[in-house]
Chain A
């Protein structure tokens, strides 16, 4: 009898993920049964499924917010739950809800009628939620695979577009390759320590730097190298960034939005847990890896975007540059850098949400197309000034211009870099953000400083996208006035991880 109630508490703490998982299964069966039913004349349940998935994600969110347990490790230390994971999970679920909201109109217009889109988003979310709270290398691998497999299919979701199929294939091959590297790194670490659990590894590896004469740990370092490279692949950090512009461009736009927004949070949460608590003693080893990758990402991201003509590729390169800034903050290795990184993640997510909701919401009046090329945005400020000014503020925030929220994110990141005396990286960082300003300003120029006589009229934005854009814009503009709740949560989360 005891045996049956042995994992009781563990299931209780896992309730939100379990709820989401069962909801996904039920929605899947609901979708299959209804969309293939001849009696109901094969109804199209795409939007229905969309709202149901938003509903289940919202309930998951409430389950997280109402969670009374603060710190616990479940399933014999396979998963861990503390205030850090709660914060990251709440952020991931909210971002998934917003991504679902943004994609509804797109799916309706492009007549993508297969309901599996939302099932895949839900599965990816479950993968990311488990990824945030892994405490073990095997759970890490399984969560990453769950997340990545859903992403591969989502990237090729538009079945009648070979562009999309190509994107999915590229993503799959590179993703499988990086998962292979991940597995190799995990097996090396297991081989040299005999442990896969993060907490146990932390205990074993404490103070290892002082034991160079008695213990040879180069095997563990090799495993760590493969592990970090694999995760850098998933983040699209330079020099492992090649897949990202092509995949972002080929995938359908709401899927691109999902890619830019949510996985970065999950993988950075994982990186923070692994490198700040488990492998912290190897700081001298992994700091240069992330530092050089970060600097290279910033340079590649800023310079690469200058020549882009398409909006989604521009966003891919800007994502690479932002990952560069985050890696610089990450490599600093202090508590302030961790808080700065989570804050920058939050602000980056909001900025990307704002920009993508703008892209998804502006459809041309004539044939309901989205803007593909940057030059399609010409004269938007004259046709629709309110939208033009809204996007202007989002872009100024992306440049990192005060008083918008983007500045504060960059400020905290570079502050923590300077606090760890990484001066060169900070200087390169700020200069590359000036270079990045060029291509952001170009968008404003196109919208307002009209030089061409091509005027495209747009339909009015649908409610979901309009609400998302206005909400995120409100956050970006007024963040500086009242950052207290966010800073408090982030502070609590960082202390929760490190103490």
Chain B
């Protein structure tokens, strides 16, 4: 009995928490934060339950239930999970409590609305990853903009947050409306928007090309791919810490999920046709953004650009259309979700203390904050693709998959590993080693218990994925194999 409604409860629990939060008065900020945090932790436990009950031997959608039905049209929204969506749900429910815990002391205004925005975001993100209907995927895809726009704009850091919020909003909206037209065209010609049915429909070749491009317009902005990546550094550096965490951790993965779920299965011929385009843009993304980080002065921007580079790896992996490539890109998405988020959290830790993110003011942090430096080093190495961490496994799989498909691209991408090592180590060197600048940093405030609790799960996850990725890959195997078969 519990099986059949687990997805609805996953969506309903954050919404219920949101409603409870509306009634908590403002003279009790601790209660507000506690309610938000406990709701998100409960959702995380519920999603672990989802993982345990997941059947890994079938590519079919599980826990399917009917959510909603639009009258007078052929649109019924079903919710369901398969190997691909399972991990995105887990990533979401893992990152939201981390976010809420990380922003415990940093948010001082509108605390209740902050938790409400995050819980609403969580509910909508779970809907994005579980709904089996193209139109409602679009609806929830767009609905994510609302809380993110408010989070960046209201709680962001002072300087350019308005411009960042605008850019984020309008870039995503432009791409998405083109996707909406494509969805409407699909509904008009096939009469249904159900994914399960649409994956069996074969479109005419030229139609596929145009529809693929329309979907690409939206997903390329979300992923992001060069040249539509400009919103990402702005949004990341201006958003509050937890906003950047959830943006890098989950929102970018929505683009990857869109590619895996829609572009590749529904338009296979167009995907093969446009593979060179995707490869080119991804290679440019990796090399160009890695080199751009060398000129940045703001730490968050460096990590933001490195996100773009990692997502370049992801898109290459996805369009190799063989099992190593796609599994590598999935695992890279998960790993990048945790690693980038943890890096943003590290930067958030020092921002909370010194209120600046400019590298010039930091040097020699190891002396004053040794525990933090160890954690920071761990995640910088993970960002680099150091063996033992999850990034190494995933990047290796992507490279193997890409090698099977195109040797030249793989060579160029592998240089990306070198650039990654370069900027990551240089960043760490400048910030953590060297002489202390006592004029700027004079207090000793290492990580406190709350921040350790924020980082500990991330460290465990990264090590786990790096040393024993089979736990995660196990559930993905069948679904991804099924996906590849569909394309062939």
Give the chain A neighbours of B451 by CB distance below 8 A. none
Q: In whole angstroms, what is the CA distance A437 to B181 when docked? A: 17
Q: How far is the CB of A482 from chain B (nearest CB, A)?
A: 10
Binding site of A, secondary structure by majority: helix, strand, loop or mixed?
helix
Give the chain A neighbours of B177 by CB distance below 8 A. 430-431, 433-434
Q: Is B185 an interface residue (CB 8 A)?
A: yes
Q: Is A191 an interface residue (CB 8 A)?
A: no
Q: In whole angstroms, what is the CA distance A396 to B180 when docked? A: 17
Residue of A nearest to B112 (CB): A385
B187 touches A431 (CB 8 A): no
Within 8 A of B (CB), among A385-439: 385, 389, 392, 396, 399, 401-403, 407, 411, 414-415, 418-419, 423, 426-427, 430-431, 433-434, 437-438
Q: In whole angstroms, what is the CA distance A441 to B153 when docked? A: 11
Q: Which residue of A381, A438, A449, A484 contacts B165 across the interface (Cβ within 8 Å)? A: A449
B165 touches A401 (CB 8 A): no
Q: Which residue of B113, B146, B170, B188 contacts A415 across the interface (Cβ within 8 Å)? A: B188
Q: How far is the CB of B186 from chain A (nearest CB, A)?
A: 10
B143 touches A403 (CB 8 A): yes
Q: Is B35 an interface residue (CB 8 A)?
A: no
Q: Is A491 an interface residue (CB 8 A)?
A: yes
Within 8 A of B (CB), among A287-306: none
Q: In whole angstroms, what is the CA distance A434 to B175 when docked? A: 10
Q: In whole angstroms, what is the CA distance A401 to B140 when docked? A: 10
B142 touches A445 (CB 8 A): no
Q: Is A211 an interface residue (CB 8 A)?
A: no
Q: Is B471 an interface residue (CB 8 A)?
A: no
B153 touches A426 (CB 8 A): no
Q: Is B72 an interface residue (CB 8 A)?
A: yes
Q: Which residue of A392, A427, A434, A444 contacts B170 across the interface (Cβ within 8 Å)? A: A434
Q: Residue-by-residue, is B215-240 near A (CB-CB < 8 Å gives 1, otherwise 0)? A: 00000000000000000000000000
Q: In whole angstroms, what is the CA distance A411 to B73 when docked? A: 13
A401 touches B187 (CB 8 A): no
Interface centre among A392, A438, A448, A480 (most CB of B within 10 A): A448
Binding site of B, secondary structure by majority: helix, strand, loop or mixed?
helix
Given A437-B173, A448-B154, A449-B153, the answer on whether A484 and B184 have CB atoms closer than 8 Å is no
Size bin of chain A's contact surface = 35 or more
Q: Is A239 an interface residue (CB 8 A)?
A: no
Interface size on B, residues (CB 8 A): 33
Q: Is B139 an interface residue (CB 8 A)?
A: yes
Given A418-B185, A437-B173, the answer on whether A430 and B71 have CB atoms closer than 8 Å is no
Give the chain B neighbours of A488 by CB distance below 8 A. 71-72
Q: Is B110 an interface residue (CB 8 A)?
A: yes
Q: Is B369 an interface residue (CB 8 A)?
A: no
A438 touches B184 (CB 8 A): no
Given A396-B146, A427-B181, the answer on whether A434 and B162 have CB atoms closer than 8 Å is no
Give the chain B neighbours of A41 by CB distance below 8 A. none
Q: Is A483 an interface residue (CB 8 A)?
A: yes
Q: Is A451 an interface residue (CB 8 A)?
A: yes
Residue of B nearest to A381 (CB): B154
Q: Which residue of B110, B165, B169, B180 contacts A414 across the interface (Cβ within 8 Å)? A: B180
Q: How far is the CB of B137 from chain A (nearest CB, A)?
A: 11
Give the chain A neighbours of B165 by CB distance below 8 A. 445, 449
Q: Is B166 an interface residue (CB 8 A)?
A: yes
A385 touches B184 (CB 8 A): no
Q: Is A498 an interface residue (CB 8 A)?
A: no
A445 touches B166 (CB 8 A): yes
Q: In whole angstroms, what is the CA distance A396 to B139 when docked? A: 13
Given A414-B180, A418-B188, A491-B72, the answer on whether A403 and B170 have CB atoms closer than 8 Å is no
Q: Which residue of B139, B150, B184 contacts A402 across the interface (Cβ within 8 Å)? A: B139
Give the chain A neighbours of B71 by CB distance below 8 A. 483-484, 487-488
Q: How far is the CB of B177 from chain A (nearest CB, A)?
A: 4
The total of Cβ contacts below 8 Å across the A-B interface reads: 86
Residue of B nearest to A400 (CB): B177
Residue of A nearest to B186 (CB): A418
Q: How far is the CB of A344 from chain B (nearest CB, A)?
A: 15
Within 8 A of A (CB), among B136-191: 138-140, 142-143, 145-146, 149-150, 153-154, 161-162, 165-166, 169-170, 173-174, 177-178, 180-181, 184-185, 187-188
Q: In whole angstroms, what is the CA distance A423 to B178 when docked? A: 11
Q: How far is the CB of B213 from chain A (nearest CB, A)?
A: 12
Q: Which residue of A423, A431, A480 contacts B174 across the interface (Cβ within 8 Å)? A: A431
B170 touches A438 (CB 8 A): yes
Q: How far is the CB of B187 from chain A (nearest CB, A)?
A: 7
A402 touches B161 (CB 8 A): no
Interface centre among A381, A419, A441 (most CB of B within 10 A): A441
Q: In whole angstroms, what is the CA distance A327 to B162 when docked? A: 34
Q: In whole angstroms, what is the CA distance A399 to B166 when docked? A: 14
Give the chain A neighbours of B188 by CB distance below 8 A. 415, 418-419
Q: Is B460 an interface residue (CB 8 A)?
A: no
Q: In whole angstroms, what is the CA distance A484 to B72 when docked? A: 9
Q: In whole angstroms, what is the CA distance A451 to B160 when docked? A: 11
Residue of B nearest to A437 (CB): B173
B181 touches A483 (CB 8 A): no
Given A407-B139, A414-B180, the answer on whether A449 and B169 have CB atoms closer than 8 Å is no
Q: Residue-by-residue, is A184-217 near B (CB-CB < 8 Å gives 1, otherwise 0)? A: 0000000000000000000000000000000000
Q: Is B70 an interface residue (CB 8 A)?
A: yes
B154 touches A449 (CB 8 A): yes
Given A402-B138, A419-B188, A427-B181, the answer on whether A483 and B143 have CB atoms closer than 8 Å is no
Give the chain B neighbours of A411 by CB distance below 8 A. 135, 180, 184
Q: How far is the CB of A334 from chain B (nearest CB, A)?
A: 11
Give the chain A neighbours of B110 by CB distance below 8 A. 385
Within 8 A of B (CB), among A458-487: 480, 483-484, 487
Given A407-B139, A415-B187, A445-B166, the answer on whether A401 and B146 have CB atoms closer than 8 Å is yes
A445 touches B184 (CB 8 A): no
Q: How far is the CB of B318 from chain A (nearest CB, A)?
A: 26
Q: In whole angstroms, what is the CA distance A390 to B170 when docked? A: 22
Give the chain B neighbours of A414 by CB distance below 8 A. 180-181, 184
Q: Which residue of B113, B162, B173 contacts A451 across the interface (Cβ within 8 Å)? A: B162
Given A401-B142, A402-B142, the answer on whether A437 and B170 have CB atoms closer than 8 Å is yes
A483 touches B169 (CB 8 A): no
Give the chain B neighbours of A448 by CB distance below 8 A. 150, 153-154
Interface centre among B161, B166, B178, B180 (most CB of A within 10 A): B180
A401 touches B181 (CB 8 A): no
Interface centre among A399, A441, A449 (most CB of B within 10 A): A449
Give the chain A neighbours of B140 by CB distance below 8 A. 402-403
Give the chain B neighbours of A418 by CB distance below 8 A. 181, 184-185, 188
Interface centre among A389, A434, A480 (most CB of B within 10 A): A434
Q: In whole angstroms, what is the CA distance A437 to B174 when docked? A: 10
B interface residues, Cβ below 8 angstroms from A: 70-72, 110, 113, 135, 138-140, 142-143, 145-146, 149-150, 153-154, 161-162, 165-166, 169-170, 173-174, 177-178, 180-181, 184-185, 187-188
Contact sample, A vs B, 7 pairs, CB 8 Å cutoff = A411-B180, A418-B185, A431-B177, A448-B153, A449-B165, A483-B70, A483-B71
Given A418-B184, A427-B181; 12 other pairs, CB 8 A cutoff: A392-B150, A401-B143, A402-B142, A402-B143, A411-B180, A415-B188, A430-B178, A434-B177, A437-B169, A437-B173, A441-B166, A449-B165
> Sorted from nearest, which 4 A-B pairs have the closest CB atoms?
A430-B177, A402-B139, A449-B153, A418-B184
A interface residues, Cβ below 8 angstroms from B: 339, 381, 385, 389, 392, 396, 399, 401-403, 407, 411, 414-415, 418-419, 423, 426-427, 430-431, 433-434, 437-438, 441, 444-445, 448-449, 451, 480, 483-484, 487-488, 491
